[in-house]
Structure formats: C-alpha cells, structure tokens
Structure 1
Amino acid sequence: MAELNTGGDGGKGGKVRSKKMNPGVDLTAMVDLAFLLITFFMLTTSLSKPQSMNLAMPDKEQDPNKPEDNTPVPDDRSMTVLMGKDDTILWYMGQFETPLVAPTETKYGKEGIRQALLQRISAVKSVYGDNKDKGLIVIIKPSDKTHYKNLVDILDEMAITNVQLYAIGDISEPEVKLLEEKGMY
C-alpha cells in the first residue's frame, strides 16, 4: 500500500518544503458594509402609514346647561341599517313602526347595500336638491351577533357612497325581534 508523506524528509535526502496553510478571508469589512446598507435603506424608505377613517364621536357627558338637540328629521331622509348574523343586512326608511320603505333584506357589496344607498341618495337629492344639510342620514344598528368585519364593511360603504351623515346606534328590542323572524339573528 502507498503511503503519503506529509512531514519532513523521512530520513531521506530531499527538499524541505514549507507547510502551506489554507487562505483565510477576513469578513469584517463585508459585515460593516452590510450593516451600513441596512441602516441606509431603513432610514430612507417610507413605512406604510395605517389607513383610517375619520369618525366623529359625541361627548360622553351631556352639558346640563345645554339642552339636548332633538331636531326632527323627515322620515324620507333617514335610512336605518340593521346588521344581523352571517353577513346579513336589513334596511328600511323612516320610523320602525311606520316605515316608508318596508324592511328589505340585502347583502354587502356593489350589488347589495351600495346600490340601495345610491338609490336612496338620489331619491333624497331629487326632493331636497344638492343641499349638503338635507342629505341622507343613515343609522347603523349592529346586533350582538354581528361580526366586527361587517361593521367595518358598512362604514366602508358609507365612505364609498359619500354619505355625509351617519351614526352607529343601539338596536332596539322590536328590531331584534324582526331580525329573529327573518332568521338573521
């Protein structure tokens, strides 16, 4: 069997060779450069800003010196949206006891509540003109079975259809019973 001599001359005459070492690469400069590039790009990029919708909320406490503002609103300007379980919506115009438009079941999206909102906005504009103070008023009433996503979706619809006046209110017991009758609660 053959033998590989890696050491000296082995007692025989020959040349003395120096031992070769593996070359080493110093990575310190490359690490410095990498951290400089990372900090540069972190400082120069703009982070995505969270998108939010402006939502005006009333004061929690009513001033006792200031009387409550109970301005009557015509029934043909007020639309109430009842939100049930499993992405269901029921809307009506006017008062619950005597609605101008009977409670109508619809869905979210372009073919559902958005179309109803746009029709109601155009109906109010045909009666009151383009006066911003006389636009459609939407009252959103989520039930306790409604998902938060659905509330965000209906607020998005308010922004898309450019409804100027809308409010989130508490759902009443007769409205809950109506949702139960329709199988939406």
Structure 2
Amino acid sequence: MALLLNTAHYKWYPVYTQPRAEKKAHQALCDKGIETYLPLQRKLKQWSDRKKWVEEPFLKSYLFVRITDHARPDVLMTKGVARFLYFSGQVATMPDRQMQDLKLLMASPYELEVTEEDLQPGEKVIIKAGPLKGLTGNMISYRSQKQLMLRIDSLGCSIVVNMAASLIDRF
C-alpha cells in the first residue's frame, strides 16, 4: 500500500530542452534513473548524395519526465535541460491520461503533424475504429481535408491526424 501512495505523488512534466538536445537530455535523465518520454517520429531525410531514415523528436525541444516535486532540481541540473514549462504562473503538469493518449498517437500508423496555429475547435468527435479507438477530439477543416484535431493544452499546440471520416462519430 505504501507503494501506491508513493506513485500517487509522481506527475508528468513537460520539459523544454536546449535546441537540438532532446536525445542527449533524454539519455542523461535516463542515466539518472528518471522516467522520461521522448516522442520520436521516423522521417526520410534527403541529402545531395543519399537518403536516410532518421528518428527525430516529434515535438521540437520538448520531452516529458515523470517525477515528484522534490526531483525538479535534479531534472534542471541535467545537461541539455533548459527549464520546465509554466502555465498560468505554475509549473505545467500533464495528466496521466493525456500522456497515454500521446503515446497511443505516436504508436499509431497515421501520419501526424504538429501545428501551433490557433485552430478553431469544431464538432466534438470520437474515433470508433482503428488503433486510436476511443480517443476524442475536435473535427476541423484543414487544407480541404477532413482531419481530427487533438489539442494538448499544456503544450499550447495541436496535433493533427489524417484519417478517414468513416472512422469517427459525433461525441
């Protein structure tokens, strides 16, 4: 029972990293025994002489740590970590459900795109089939295609998922 009480004090925090230091900061935090999540996306990069598949951070300069309040100074003293994110004057936290949803999105076969545009929310929808079944979001019209938008409020950005309208229902 004491174990349950201890894990209740752990929260997910979004952390801002130094530019292009997400992977190094992630590894340094893991080396310290801190639970971290760095969403990576596989992309095909082309140079003048070759093409290569690389894993890049999905959210540039962001990673997530699951810690207690007392561990925040240890995270800040990690090479590559710049600061915690603040929302309304407080250190931002991510609900466990939102982190599960982000992990589910990253594991999905759908092409994902991050946008910081202030997309206007539309009709609330729920995904009724596929690997994202059960997730809810807002339907938007974007580039003349029907797409599902899931808003991650703590980060101030939107994640746009390309999917067929037949896979969603009104919520």
| TM-score strictly above 0.5 | no
Give the TM-score, by structure 1 length.
0.20
Who wins on radius of gyration, i.e. which is larger? 1
Could you say which structure has the greater relative contact order, defined with CA pairs below 8 angstroms and 6 or more residues apart? Answer: 2
Q: Larger strand proportion, structure 1 or 2?
A: 2
Give the TM-score, by structure 2 length.
0.22
Q: Larger helix proportion, structure 1 or 2?
A: 1
